[in-house]
């Protein structure tokens, strides 16, 4: 499932003069993993694409961040890891001043080891 992360992308067909970053990027498109659930200690790879006004992919260095301490995310690779055993953890793709919507993961305890 894909979702766009910038309202500008929704209007690409109707707007010809969208503000662009220095490299022509007007939107970020993030591919959501399924499910949006992580067990404590589990990691998942996130991916995003930078898009220009025509909706074409642009080569750009997308960075990742999290405002939460319940998950960690590798700034360059987009690998998110659950630190907490419960609650939620949010992650966001960024490029210059563009920001994706926050991606929210539901966090669960790691399975009990079998005895």
Residue 113: predicted pLDDT: 83
Taking residues 84-97, what's their average pLDDT? 96
- Residues 77, 35 contacting (CB under 8 angstroms): no
Pairing of strands 2-4, 27-31: antiparallel
- Residue 14, pLDDT > 80, answer no
DSSP category for residue 10: H
Taking residues 100-115, what's their average pLDDT? 92
Check the CA dihedral 15-56-35-80 and report its sign: negative
Residue 29: predicted pLDDT: 95
Instruction: State what percent of residues in the chain have pLDDT above 70.
Output: 80
Check the CA dihedral 22-76-81-71 and report its sign: negative
Report pTM.
Answer: 0.77
In a domain, 113, yes or no: no
Taking only the tens place, the pLDDT of each residue in 37-75 is: 999 999 999 999 999 999 999 999 999 999 999 999 999
Q: In this structure, what CATH number is given to the domain that contains residue 16?
A: 2.60.40.1080
User: What is the span of the domain harbouring residue 102?
Assistant: 2-108
CA gap 110, 55 in Å, rounded = 40
In a domain, 51, yes or no: yes
In a domain, 62, yes or no: yes
* Paired tokens of 100: 């994706």
In a domain, 115, yes or no: no
């Amino acid at each position: 499932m894909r979702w766009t992360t910038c309202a500008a992308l929704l209007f690409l067909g109707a707007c010809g003069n969208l503000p662009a970053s220095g490299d022509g990027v007007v939107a970020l498109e993030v591919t959501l993993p399924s499910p949006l659930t992580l067990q404590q200690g589990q990691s998942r790879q996130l991916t995003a694409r930078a898009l220009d006004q025509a909706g074409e992919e642009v080569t750009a260095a997308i960075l990742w961040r999290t405002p939460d301490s319940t998950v960690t995310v590798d700034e360059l690779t987009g690998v998110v890891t659950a630190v907490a055993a419960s609650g939620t953890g949010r992650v966001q793709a960024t490029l210059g001043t563009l920001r994706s919507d926050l991606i929210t993961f539901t966090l669960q305890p790691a399975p009990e080891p079998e005895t």
